[in-house]
Structure 1
Amino acid sequence: MGENTVLGPQISRRTFMALSGLAGGCAALTGCSPKSPSKKEETSDKSFSPDAVTWSSCHVNCGSRCPLKVFVKDGTVVRIGNDNEGSDVFGPGEIYQMRSCVRGRTNRQRIYNDTRIQKPLRRVPGTKRGEGKYEEISWDEAISDIASTMKEIKEEYGNDAFYIQYGTGQLGGTVSKSWHPDKTMFARLMNLYGGYLRHYCDYSTGQITWELPLFNGDAWSNNEVTDLVNSKNIFLFGNNPANTRMSGSAMMYLITQVRQQNPDARIVVVDPHLSDTAVGVANQWVPIRPGTDVALVAGMIQHLLSAGKLDRDFIKEKFVGFFSDSFMEDVKAAEPKDASFMGFDKDGKLSIDQDMSYEAYLNGTGAYAGSGKKTPEWAATITGVPAATIRELADLYVDGPTATIQGWGPQRHSNGGNNTRSIALIAAITKNVGISGGGTGAREATGGVAYKVKTAIPTFPEKNSVDVCVSFFDWYRAIEDYRSMNDATWGVRHINEKGKTLYADEPGSITLKAPIKFIWNYASNVMMGQHADINECLRIYNLPDEKDSGVRMIVTVDCYLTPTALISDIILPGTTSFEEDDICTGGTAWTGFVCCESAAIKPLFEAKPVYEICTLIADKLGLKDEFTEGKSQLDWVKWSYEQGVEAGDDLPATFEEFKEKGLFKQTDTHDPAIAKQDKIATPSGKYEVFSKQAYNLSKQWDLTLGGYVPDDGRDQITGLPTYYDHFEGYNDPLRSEYPFQLIGHHGKTRTHSSYGNVAWMSSVAPQQCWINEKDAAALGIEQDDQVIVSTERGRTQLSAKVTQRIMPGVVSIPQGAWYDPASRDAATLGDKSVLDKGGCISVLTSMRPTPISKGNGVHSNLCKIEKA
């Protein structure tokens, strides 16, 4: 057992080398130090003679999964290349190159990184989670400790006490995948062991997943992005693919092609900041105050309705809840039929006796009497968008075809569900759904020609004995007070024997049976990165292990010593995708690919693939034969390939040929898909402008979450997608103390927190707080000044980006930076006064769940800024 070592997310080179000695000598590190290629290597491919070239791919969560070519010399990865096979021509029937972005090309710096975990580590007894004090232990000691704790917890609490954390750091593989958690090796292991507490939805789409269907029954369908060549107008609401999906095989490449092929299209970006997408392809940037999209849409529709530019007969035929004269009849049609819909009113008690139609809302009549007309002038005072611009935007919608694509930013506000419903409403009500060049208002569909190889191995969900699930965002409450969690407070839901999520017949009837006592954390930095309010998280993670609260064991399996790893009890070193065999699929437009990934190098240090780790644990639990079915990881890769061949994939006759070549691509000449929405999966079968599901929930649910948050009216569930003064929005009184609206955005240098430890990337675009030049001048802040951004929850320090590319009164911090506290002292751990030096926005954001989805409204924050 090694001596105790204090570890942090930015380990010094000296510490790294010292640990490498403990791991078996510096010889194990041959070639591990990231080094720039020599001038000769950079400029002359003829002089470069690798020992081997293998295929892999980028497994991070941007949506692309780009193939990567790996060059090996003397057992070391010396270069990462991209896909240079196929045509450079984009179009139907062309197998074009799936070129990766600059992030993927820096993977050598991830393989040989100072933050690589080298040996199993155990938190030093008596220290707190987050102090970062660990001791080295053997693999057998680590696995035995984990297995014995699992047995204790199962005997004491049952399988309801186990939780698999959300994580997307290893997304794209088949055997090694970390998302969806229910498809991982830990799901396979835990289901064989009796099951675990599952979660619904994810950090990307928390509200759009559950609340867009309240309007149109579907959160996902939209026209394929290649159809934008047929659009006269294109609206991008909070969508910035130039940063989020910037590779040659994803959305930004496609939309760039659209701009070239449809140069007359008017592309409008509605966003608080002038994104790289807006700079690159848009004609018009409409800066809007965060969280006010719903008011913008109301002003647009009021203008169109008063000007006689909407088809009233079409609305009466296809929509419910819009007009006053049919409202009561519409409400009856929109009543949830059973518990497969939200807000099921089993006893039929929740009747409505007043006009709550959208027409009444726009006119300020009926239930909205006294609220005034929702004119463009009204919307302008809320959104900051001039009334004339609002009218102009509205008129574009009826001068189509007009495509509407919303990113996942507008729905990540405390009123995000209403934002997302509204954006879809303006698309549908202007008759732009179901036509070429139009769209539904959901996120873009990128197309692709899929292979049929399996992208996950069986995980036996039918063996999971736990029949409830929690929101991806409010699992933390189950550590502290699981007894307060039911369907009417924290959104707990039931899973039936077929795996379908159901809602309650009676409010409060679906409850948790045990606290979360054990957390599997695989390839995930969520718990101290993507989740909110890091200081509050630290308090919760360090609650004492008692009968009804406190987590007993957190196990992290990762390649890197992330901030989340440093709140774990056991840390196990995992392999990168370049150190194991796996299979990956992807594609966009008219091309699809499958990549048979071969280990380019042996696992560094004592790292092991997740399949091997789970096999070791399964052996200790007496489940090894069931878990492996006698197969190695490579056997499962072969199984995935064989499943594709049996299903008709055009692939080589033998697996050996498949593995040898590595990358396969296919194409077709399909017409871009058009989302028709002929059958709408709402209770009425129509577009529900007024959702009786949502109205019923507003009467059934306790929005204080059982007293967890105040009854301040900042959380509302509304039948219509109306604007209200939401939590830490523009009209929150807290602005008198914290005057700026703070949002997060995706930068180019990271995918969430992945690549956050790559020096090359951070040197190109350092972590900076975007602030408007007028606001900066008033505060005496200049470009690159160090600033401290504070909310009620914490403080973080980073440099300032003084720019005109963000509207006054709003600041933005790129999400995903690694938390780096100025102190890890046990006495102040989790104190909101402790300064984060990493520029991590999650120190500042709120854990307050959103009203319906119980999701992450983490773009709604009020902050103040001062020079450091």
Structure 2
Amino acid sequence: MGNKAPNAAEFRQHSSHWGVFKAALGEDGLVIQAHPGDPDPNGILDNFPAALRHPARIARPMVRRGWLERGPGPDRQRGRDEFVAMEWDQVLDLLAAEIRRVGESHGPGAVYGGSYGWASAGRFHHAQSQIHRFLNTAIGGYVASVNSYSSGAASVIVPHVLGNYEALTKHNVTWDQVATQTEVVLAFGGMALKNAMVAGGGISEHVERPAMQAARARGCDFILVGPLRSDLPEEAGAEWIANVPGTDTALMLALVHTLVAEGLHDRGFIDRFTTGWAEFERYLLGAADGQPKDAAWAAPITGLEAEAIRALARRLHGKRVLVTVAHALQRAEHGEQPVWMGAVLAAALGQIGLPGGGYGYALGAIGYYGRRANAVPSPTLSQGRNRHGNYIPVARIADMLLNPGQDYRYNGQTRKYPDIRLVYWAGGNPFHHHQDLNRLREAFARVDTLVVHELAWTATARHADIVLPATMTLEREDIGYSSHDPLMVAMQRVAAPYAEARDDYDIFAALSRRLGTEAAFTEGRSSREWLAHLYERTRQGLAEKGLPAPDFEAFWEAGSLALPQEPDDGGPWRAFREDPDANPLPTPSGRIEIFSETVAGFGEASCPGHPAWLPPEEAPGGATPLHLVANQPATRLHSQLDFGGHSAAAKRREREVATMHPADAAARGIEDGDIIRLFNKRGACLAAVRVAEDIRPGVVQLPTGAWYDPEDPAEDFPLCVHGNPNVLTRDIGTSSLAQGCTGQLTVVEVEKFTGNLPPIRAFDPPVARPAPQPLAAE
């Protein structure tokens, strides 16, 4: 009668970036069971059942009609045109011919290999590795991207002033140390559990909430600095300091000024472990510019009381203090500054390198930070060698497409944007993570051809010329592995592929066959043979340590394998503190660079040689009096499976939910549950509204990830009716040093929407038209 549940034998082990689980198909659909060893399972798992066979899935290969009829070339009809359903062999023949044309006429420097690393927790069906391996073997390379939207500023500034970014984030202070050692956590931007619930490659244990709960029970004080109270969980019992968004650097400067003025800074640590303090202190005390960066100076900038700033600084003295800075802070104009200044504050307190103390940059920003590393190699697919070698900072894709040949600055270099003809995207949705979507639409209109592998009709797929339906993770086999999670998972197939969907690997193998490069791409292996081949590297690592090392078939049958982990020894930072001469940091001086001669030598006004308060060019006022915080969503990973049940259930009237303070809402005649219009000079979107006290007045919060849904795609600046904040955000770099993403903050006005409410069509597939007659005749 349609209510028989699957039995235990029918469940298959699987993994996702948001959790390990088992799944089975029953008469009522997909059933999910979270990993029994996970103390705090992630609700995002509940997106799978509704998503598996959702109408938003792409059923057949599709080609945009205008591209078929007019051929490759710039076209403003991308995102507005209709599609033609075609057979796989026809589309692969067309695509292979286009790849050959671009490669022979323009070379690999005209191809951009677009991808992002979050497509699957599996290490083989990792879309980024697959597409890059294909382009390297097929045409010798491509224009790549470096850094990420999440940490674009931090990943550039940290090597200059602190050394290895991976060591700072992944081999430093752990959650075990916080639970047992830390006395004060000073969290700039918080440590929101929604972020830590996700880890690349999978996660079997979500430990953040229990660790904070244990620390709080022991007497640790959590202090949250930021406009959103929810950026630390209730278990932390945090004191909330609601500063003006984007002013954390000014607050840190004032805290250090108070420490110095009152003789509370650790001068011994500064002298032994840092370089450049004298230059920075001149700026801090006002000798350089006549303005001391004291609490009175910071108060009007941050929106805090001067005496409260001084009192906070005094509370930190003599305690085991952990300073954390969230990724969110550096996803804004001048994002390098809070990252750098957070390290200076931790150095002034003298806590760096102590258990549970010092600087935990981005702790809580992602699930594998704050954990011990695995002690055996990972099963990772080689991408091969990119013989072309050109790249752009990842957040500068629209600049590249709009300005071929233009010079730009990046990390001390003057570089030139390439002239891209073919964009090939597999894994990722730039209409989620990029800024100023109207500008991005214009950028994509400039290329000859845009190719997308996707499982569903995202806005990126709708803007493509060739759309190839890809399988969902549940429809293929893989190996789930995270560098900092002790469980490797056999990701067993749960369901057959949807309609005509194929694995990325099979698509690229078929294209390689047409291009004469199949042997180089596949090395003669099937997908299952690749899994066994990749697993062998990890198995050998276990065997060398004298640990149980089952063969591949035994691992696959068992479903998972426990892995050994490195000791919780504080990593390079503990070693540096114990002996900085024997264990220098990988910076030019071997020390923490409070002033960097290298950065100063670049001569970038937007990123001077020491951390500084640099006011943003765009601030609330006039027609846009409110800050907008566009942060990560809690009910999905980025925009993935936005049509899933967990994501859909959190929406109101089918729209993403924005949060406003009661005072701001009342001033605009807005009540809880209303539909509001958020707008600025770049665009506008609709959202439902939640009116609550847990946000600073003058701030609106709207998470990213609602699929872009223009009311009228034919318009140049259409209203997004679904609630995608990136129609509002600015597409500029954090600075000319890092060129990172600035999508976290912008300015807007809000009004109650009183018109006829447009329907949500983001998940409706386009109508498949018959192929044009000339093609059919051929």
Calculate the TM-score normalised by the size of structure 2.
0.88
How far 1:73 sits from its partner (Å)?
Answer: 4.0
Structure 1 residues 172 and 134: alpha-carbon distance in aligned structure 2, compared to 1, 3 A threshold: same
SS of residue matched to 1:684: coil
CA apart distance, 1:738? 1.0
Amino acid at match of 1:408: H
Cα gap change, 1:141 to 1:186, in 2 (>3 Å): farther
Instruction: Give the match for residue 232 of structure 1.
Output: 183
1:194 is aligned to 2:140: yes
1:78 aligns with 2:68: no
Match of 2:513 in 1: 619
CA drift of 1:859 comes to 2.1
Instruction: Report the Cα distance in structure 2 between the residues aligned to 1:631 and 1:308, rounded to whole angstroms.
Output: 66
Q: In structure 1, how many angstroms separate the alpha carbons of the residues matched to 2:264 and 2:719?
A: 54
Distance 1:449 1:297, change over 3 A: closer
Deviates more, 1:423-432 or 1:209-218: 209-218
State which of 668, 690, 699 in structure 1 corresponds to 2:595.
690
- Alpha carbons of structure 1 residues 793 and 242: separation in structure 2 relative to 1, 3 Å: same
SS in 2 for 1:864: strand
Of 479, 500, 516, the match for 2:401: 479
Alignment check: 8 A CA contact 1:226 1:672 kept = no
- The answer to whether the 8 Å contact 1:293/1:423 transfers is no
**In 1, distance between residues paired with 2:725 and 2:96?**
36
Any conservation in 2 of the 1:729–1:860 contact (CA below 8 Å)?
no
How many Å separate the matches in 1 of 2:205 and 2:189?
A: 14
Separation (CA, whole Å) in 2 of partners of 1:120 and 1:169: 23
1:511 and 2:404 matched: no
| Equivalent-residue separation in structure 2 for 1:811 and 1:137 (angstroms) | 45
Are 1:536 and 2:461 counterparts? no
**Is the 2:134–2:512 Cα contact (8 Å) retained in structure 1?**
no
Instruction: Give secondary structure in 2 for the equivalent of 1:234.
Output: strand
- 1:727 and 2:617 correspond: yes
* Other structure's SS at 2:482 match: strand
Matched, 1:260 2:163: no
1:374 counterpart SS class:
coil
Amino acid in structure 2 at the alignment position of 1:541:
F
Q: Secondary structure at the match of 2:232?
A: helix
Question: Counterpart in 1 of 2:101?
Answer: 152
Deviates more, 1:267-276 or 1:123-132: 123-132
- Cα 1:145–1:247, aligned 2, differ >3 Å: closer, same or farther? closer
In the alignment, structure 1 residue 108 sits paired with structure 2 residue 54: no
Structure 1 residue 360 displacement after superposition: 2.0
Taking only aligned residues, the RMSD between alpha carbons, in angstroms, comes to: 2.4
Structure 1 residues 584 and 795: CA distance shift in structure 2, 3 A:
same
What is the match of residue 359 of structure 2?
440
Deviation at 1:82, TM superposition (A): 1.5
Match of residue 361, structure 1, among 271, 279, 283:
283
Work out whether 1:223 is the aligned partner of 2:177: no
Letter in 2 for 1:556: V
Q: Is 1:293 aligned with 2:190?
A: no
- Paired position in structure 2 for 1:775: 664
Partner of 1:54: 12
* Distance in 1 of aligned mates of 2:532 and 2:270: 53
> Residue 119 of structure 1 contacts residue 605 of structure 1 at CA under 8 Å; is this kept in 2?
yes
Written as runs of structure 1 = structure 2, the 5 A alignment for 1:679-828 is 679-698=584-603, 716-729=606-619, 735-766=621-652, 767-825=656-714, 828=715
Amino acid at match of 1:631: R
Q: Map Cα deviations across residues 1-51 of structure 1 (whole Å, 9 max, x no partner).
A: xxxxxxxxxxxxxxxxxxxxxxxxxxxxxxxxxxxx97x66xxxxx65366
Matching residue's letter, 1:194: G
Inter-partner Cα distance in structure 1 for 2:422 and 2:409 = 20
Q: CA deviation at 1:99?
A: 6.0
Distance change >3 Å, CA 408–CA 552, structure 1 → 2: same
Q: 1:279 aligns with which of 228, 231, 234?
A: 234
Contact 1:534 1:843 in 2 (8 A): yes
Q: Deviations over 1:754-799 (max 9, x none)?
A: 1311144322354212111111111111111111111221000111
Aligned equivalent of 1:321: 276
Contact 2:661-2:696 at 8 Å conserved across structures:
yes
Report the 3-state secondary structure (helix = DSSP H, G, I; strand = E; otherwise coil) of the residue aligned with 2:587: coil
Task: Extract unaligned runs of 5+ from structure 1.
Answer: 1-36, 42-46, 85-95, 324-356, 494-502, 543-549, 700-714
C-alpha distance after superposition, 1:267-299 (max 9, x if no partner) = 111111111524341330111111111100111
Deviation for aligned residue 1:207: 0.5
Q: Aligned to 1:807, what secondary structure does the other structure show? A: coil
1: CA distance between counterparts of 2:552 and 2:204?
Answer: 28
Against the structure 1 CA distance between its residues 215 and 171, is the aligned structure 2 distance closer, same or farther, given a 3 Å change threshold?
same
**Separation (CA, whole Å) in 2 of partners of 1:668 and 1:539:** 48
Contact 2:173 2:360 in 1 (8 A): no
**Which residue is 1:551 aligned to?**
447
Choose 257-266 or 185-194, whichever is displaced more. 185-194
State how far apart, in whole Å, the 2-side matches of 1:533 and 1:455 are.
37
The alignment partner of 1:835 has SS state of coil
- How is 1:414-425 mapped onto 2 (pairs within 5 angstroms)? 414-425=333-344
Secondary structure of the structure 1 residue equivalent to 2:481: strand
Question: Residue 299 of structure 2 is aligned with which of 367, 370, 380?
Answer: 380
Task: For residues 426-469 of structure 1, give each alpha carbon's deviation from its aligned partner in whole angstroms, at most 9, with x where no partner exists.
Answer: 112211101012032412233245263543222211xx221321
SS at match of 1:572: strand
Task: Tell me, yes or no, if the aligned pair for 2:40 and 2:209 is still in contact at 8 Å.
Answer: no
Q: Is 1:856 matched with 2:745?
A: no
Query: Secondary structure at the residue paired with 1:770?
Result: strand
- Structure 2 residue identity aligned to 1:855: G
2:12–2:492: 8 Å Cα contact kept in structure 1?
yes
| CA offsets 1:614-667 (integer angstroms, 9 cap, x no match) | 000100100112211110001000111112112225455332221111122246
C-alpha separation in 1, matches of 2:156 and 2:510? 38
Paired-residue identity, %:
23
- 2:614 counterpart SS class: coil
Q: SS at the partner of 1:231?
A: coil
CA offsets 1:484-508 (integer angstroms, 9 cap, x no match): 13xxx242x8xxxxxxxxx64xxx4
Q: Return the alpha-carbon distance in structure 1 between the equivalents of residues 11 and 23 of structure 2.
A: 5
On the 8 A contact 1:239/1:408 being kept in 2, the answer is no
Give the conservation status (yes or no) of the 8 Å contact 2:321–2:357: yes
Distance change in 2, residues 1:77/1:597 (3 Å): farther
Are the equivalent residues in 2 in contact too, given 1:453–1:640 (CA < 8 A)? no
For residues 162-181 of structure 1, what are the structure 2 equivalents within 5 Å?
162-178=111-127, 181=128
Q: Specify whether residues 449 and 97 from structure 1 end up closer, same or farther in structure 2 by C-alpha distance, changes over 3 A only.
A: farther
Shift of 1:250: 7.5
Tell me the SS of whatever aligns to 1:475: helix
Q: Which amino acid aligns with 2:307?
A: A
Contact 1:217 1:682 (C-alpha < 8 Å) held by counterparts: yes
2-structure distance, mates of 1:98, 1:151: 51
What secondary structure sits across from 1:299 in the alignment? helix
- Cα separation, 1, equivalents of 2:744 and 2:601: 27
* Residue 67 (structure 1) aligned to one of 7, 20, 33: 20
Instruction: Report the secondary structure of 1:641's partner residue.
Output: helix
Per-residue Cα deviation, 1:559-600 (whole angstroms, up to 9, x for no partner): 111111111001111011111111011375xx6011111212
Q: Is the 8 A contact 2:540 2:549 kept in 1?
A: no
Cα 1:171–1:691 shift into 2, 3 Å: farther
**Offset, 1:259:** 2.2
1:291–1:410 CA contact under 8 A, matched in 2: yes
Contact preservation (8 Å) 1:449, 1:666: no
Q: Which moved more, 1:562-571 or 1:473-482?
A: 473-482
Is the contact made by 1:245 and 1:251 (CA closer than 8 Å) also made in structure 2? Answer: no
Report the Cα distance in structure 2 between the residues aligned to 1:689 and 1:166, rounded to whole angstroms: 35
| Cα offsets for 1:112-160 (capped at 9, x unmatched) | 2121000000011167111151110111111111111111111121111
For residues 795 and 176 of structure 1, do their structure 2 counterparts lie closer, same or farther at Cα, with a shift above 3 Å needed? same
